[in-house]
Amino acid sequence: MKISIYIVLFLTSIGVNAQIDRSKQPKPGPSPKIALEVPNEFEMNNGMKVLVVENHKLPRVAYSLTIDNTPIKEGDKAGMSSLLGSMLGNGTLNIPKDKFNEEIDFLGANLNFRANGGSARALSKYSDRILELMADAAINPLLTEEEFQKEKDKLIEGLKTQEKSVDAVARRVGGALSYGTHHPKGEFVSEKTVNNVTLNNVRLYYEKYFNPNKAYLVIIGDVDLKTIKKQVKKHFGKWEKSIAISATVPEAQPNEQYTQINFVDMPNAVQSNISLTNNVDLKMGDADYHSVLIANKILGGGFNSYLNMNLREEHGYTYGARSRVGADKYKSRFTAGASVRNAVTDSAVVQTLKEINRIKNEDVTEEALKNAKAKYVGDFVLALERPQTVARYALNIKLNDLPDDFYTTYLEKINNVSKEDVKRVANKYFKTENARIVVVGKGSDVLSNLEKTGIPIKYYDPYANKTEKPSYDIEIPSDVNVASVLNAYIAAIGGRAKLDNVNSVLMLAEAELQPGMVLNLEMKKTVKNQFMQEMKAMGNSMSKQVLDGDAGYSVVQGQKKDMNEDQIKKVKAESSPFPEVNYLSQNVTLEKIEAIDGENAYKIKISDELSIFYSVETGLKIKEAKAVGQNTSSIFYTDYKEVAGVKFPFKLKQTMGPRSFDFLVKEIKVNEGVADADFK
Amino acid sequence: MKKHLFSLTFLVLAGVAVSAQEVKFEEFDLDNGMHVILHQDNSAPVVTTSVMYNVGGKDGDRSRTGFAHFFEHLLFEGTENIERGEWFTIVSSNGGSNNANTSQDRTYYYEVFPSNNLELGLWMESERLMHPIINQIGVDTQNEVVKEEKRLRYDNAPYGAILASITENLFEVHPYKDKNIGEMEHLDAATLEEFRAYFKKYYVPNNAVLVVAGDIDIANAKKLAKDYFAPIPRGADVVRNFPKEKPITETKKAKAYDTNIQVPAIIAAYRTPGFKERDAYILDMISSYLSGGKSSVLYKKLVDEQKQALAVQAVNVGQMDYNVFALFALPLGDIPLATLLAEMDEEVLKMQEELISERDFQKLQNQFENQFVNSNSSVSGIANSLARYYMLYDDINLINNEIDIYRSVTREEIQAVAKKYLNKNQRLELEYLPVEKKDK
């Protein structure tokens, strides 16, 4: 009973080689013959359409329900649909929740719902029962206050898990800015909107939108048409048709007048998420559709696309760069971008624009065009292995009002795309003159370089609200300079007179790496260019550095090495108990004010490797950042306490990449416990 | 009469359906020690060619971690007959798809093509093994790409470092303690010579299995496999001798921090037998019992009834030498992590003290039967399973009879295994925390 349509493949085919010559790429054999099956179809009295694809390869069945509503705006109650989706499929008016869920699991089956549909999978021996449970859950849901509260709490907590996710913020802001938050595709769920939703809202939403009028049930698997038809009628026949609702979708935000960067600051980001985007009007039925697919494939639709070959293979900026174009009845977006490390954010933006402009201005090569087409043909063939494909095609034809021959002529239309078509549609749909380049990343690392691209920048918070430019470049007051910052620090820890009385300092600190695993740190400094620092783990020396005047050495895991001149110079600069006193007469520079964990601090650059941060408010030293190879090692100083009239930090948090250790100071001694012999 | 005919047809179809579940295959060795597995399925014009190498993150020098994964990048850079940058173009311009992945235990490469490109797939995989170009340009480019992959997957993703945080605390001497993606300093320090030596040691035909599956003619596929792979010379045998872990006898406690999260997580992780062992199969069933589906004990209690957790999961991460069995929960609201852990422990304790119910036991059997039916649903999935069972489980027939192991497990065994492995003093308790706010 299979209805199949044979399709001509547009693959070049040449005879098979008899003998192998591995220096040449083997030629393909004759094109395989492919057949596109057409699903069986029937319509119920309540308007639900049913598509059935019989496939007996494995003893299993999958049901999928889709309700083709126009996009629904939820406004200040965004979250209604999400809550409805999570409440559906948890019991029915006929079967209590626990019993319902237990039976699904007992059958080894799966059942899931969304606000506009659902799906179920099971072994075919349970096909009737799982369909019955699915129908009951759809028609007679159990929407109780208790479940509502629970799902609401979970939804809010779930939002929190994504709050610091750079990618989640990029998705949200990209949609919100592109479509506008007034548009169903641009609005988003937040804690505030979820809190506005009541159980009654969810019930009304269900009544209004969860109806068979525009529903499609797709059945794939080891079923027979006649039996399944009876079963569907029995279980879904009770679903009552409702009055038709006509909803108009608001106009999406128009594209921008000029291309701009829309920046969102995320201080925790180690990669920037870059996404160039503009809205497009493109439907699957449009004459341009196939040309756009090919243009996007060449630009960013695969590994060997313009974008990926440039950003990943040529420059190593990213794990992968891609572009996408949506095709939709209501409005969709073109996006192009990548996640790249902070340091190359600006370069990646520039290269992304360059590649998009390339496909707009230069003809693609015959070869690139041929390869892109071949990939579509291949994907089409490969997809045939999955029985879902036939069902998806049939459903797409209905949902997108496509002609019946859409898929049987698909490869032919792909094959007819010319290089002129590619250039034309690239100019029509990839709007490099009117695009938003949404960049979500760590502003303090990436912004100054982004500014150098010359592209205007607008700033947004993680919820797509306009904000001011982030303020880590706080203006330094005119009466502040290097000397005043250093003197403020000296005053804050006790004053010059007290410091001058200090000839030596001994510090003992320890950090617990994990319970039972303790690191001990011992440090001695004198005013005579003497310095000793030793790190021990469980009593064993891990590393030791010693400086005595103009000579020094280090021992790392038992291996002793003398310091070279350069190293001696660096250690010497830090060997003084209070190096700030020396910095006053050295060539150090006040760079800027930067927020350190929310506390503003003056950043003083001591050398190319070392910068120190002093609190604007208290004058105290709160952070030291040292470049170690490609990484930065930082020490955060807190918990200052007085010893011999001078304040010392009693907590030192050291970070290196994702690792961090808290050293707690156990003892500080001033002018005692240090002898010259310690530096031998 | 007509009706009868129809139902007869249906019966025949049903009969086909049951037997179609059995995966048929042929296997043989090439003279160079390479094992070849063929599986024919002509229902769609699609063919998969794949090679699994017995080399993973756990192999090699511990001051050069991440090599296995690095090679998974490097070996797309080109060969003596495939120019640099051409690999992906050749695949896609012939309508194919390809990818590769690396675990601690093995590295797997595959292509899926329309079936008229079988020979192309075999040519490419044989080129990769026979004479890839390993040079500084390739190493430098892929070094940057791998670093971006690490940032993407571990450093910039909420909960991205969770598995690495578990294994670095759970293992002390076995190389499973190291990140599969490796330490970036190790990759930076590695020389070209070291990469070449690693290739020579592990990328040899006698350390690999080739699978050809899908719309093929067996005789032709056999001939092509020989034509392309037989000329590759055999290498030295790979010898492994990993240090054994001492059993954990006292609870280990650790903390890890993630800048990308707001909601903390609690994990209890146990070092359990590797995936070949019968006990590992039983622990699979225990993880399903605890958190598979809405009626599972942990989901029902913590998420549904007591509303203490946003999510809860018991997982049995399969590895060759040791599995990692882990309980994982995210708290809802202000519920302390210790409370979540105690609640999970209570359910584990019940499993140790009483048999699970007959009904729950039958539910487990049904769930594993369902999983088994679905496990062989695509040709590329079958190819991967054949390679895995042959190379890592030493029993290729598991593709058809692994389900028998689950079927043979009793309720008493489930209890005994829970008792044997899931004790508090045998585990790591890991608090996975958001980075602390500024000190008060």
Give the gap in angstroms from C-alpha B155 to the nearest C-alpha of chain A. 7
Across the interface, do B119 and A153 touch by the CB < 8 Å criterion? Answer: no
Q: Given this model, what pLDDT does residue B14 score?
A: 35
B241 pLDDT exceeds 60?
yes
Q: Which whole number is the average pLDDT over A208-213?
A: 95
Smallest Cβ distance to B20: which of A57, A106, A514? Answer: A57
- State what percent of residues in chain B have pLDDT above 90: 88
Lowest-confidence pick of A8-22, A243-257, A465-479: A8-22
- In B274-333, the residues whose Cβ lies within 8 Å of chain A are 292-296, 300, 303-304, 307, 310, 330, 332-333
> How far is the alpha carbon of A6 from chain B, nearest alpha carbon, in Å?
13
Least confident of A136-145, A589-598, A634-643: A589-598
Q: What is the pLDDT of residues A88-115, one digit of tens each?
A: 999 999 999 999 999 999 999 999 999 9
- Indicate the pLDDT class of residue A425, thresholds 50, 70 and 90: very high
- Which of A26, A60, A379 is facing B123, going by the closest CB pair? A26
- The shortest CB-CB distance from A370 to any of B93, B119, B379 is to B93
Residue of A nearest to B91 (CA): A375
In the predicted model, is pLDDT for residue B13 greater than 50? no
Confidence check: pLDDT of A483 > 60: yes
pLDDT > 90? residue A613: yes
Span B246-265, mean pLDDT?
Answer: 94
Among B92, B120, B227, beta carbon nearest to A302: B92
Which positions 34-53 of B are in contact with A (Cβ < 8 Å)?
43-46
Crossing angle for the helix pair A366-383 and A289-300, to the nearest 10 degrees:
110
A244 pLDDT above the threshold of 90? no
Nearest CA in chain A to B366: A108
- Would the CB atoms of A378 and B96 count as touching at under 8 Å? yes
Q: Is B19 on the interface with A (CB under 8 A)?
A: no
The DSSP element (H or E) to which B298 belongs, if any, is: helix B297-298
Whether the CB of B136 is below 8 Å from some CB of chain A: the reply is no
What percentage of residues in chain A have a pLDDT greater than 70? 96
Q: How confident is the model at residue A608 (pLDDT cuts 50, 70, 90)?
A: confident
Percent of chain B predicted with pLDDT > 70:
94
Q: For A530-587, how does the pLDDT look when each residue is reduced to its tens digit (9 = 90+)?
A: 999 998 888 888 888 899 988 899 888 788 889 888 888 888 878 888 888 888 888 8
pLDDT score for B175: 97
* Cβ atoms within 10 Å of A6's Cβ, excluding its own: 10
pLDDT in tens, A338-383: 999 999 999 999 999 999 999 999 999 999 999 999 999 999 999 9
Q: Which residues contact A243 (CB under 8 A, 6 or more apart)?
A: none
Mean confidence (pLDDT) of chain B: 92
Residue A591: per-residue pLDDT: 87
- The pLDDT, as a whole number, for residue B15 is 34
Instruction: Tell me: pLDDT of B194 over 80.
Output: yes
CA distance linking residue A580 with residue A61, whole number of Å: 75
* Residue A34 pLDDT: 81
Average pLDDT of chain A to the nearest whole number = 91
Residue B34: the pLDDT is 98
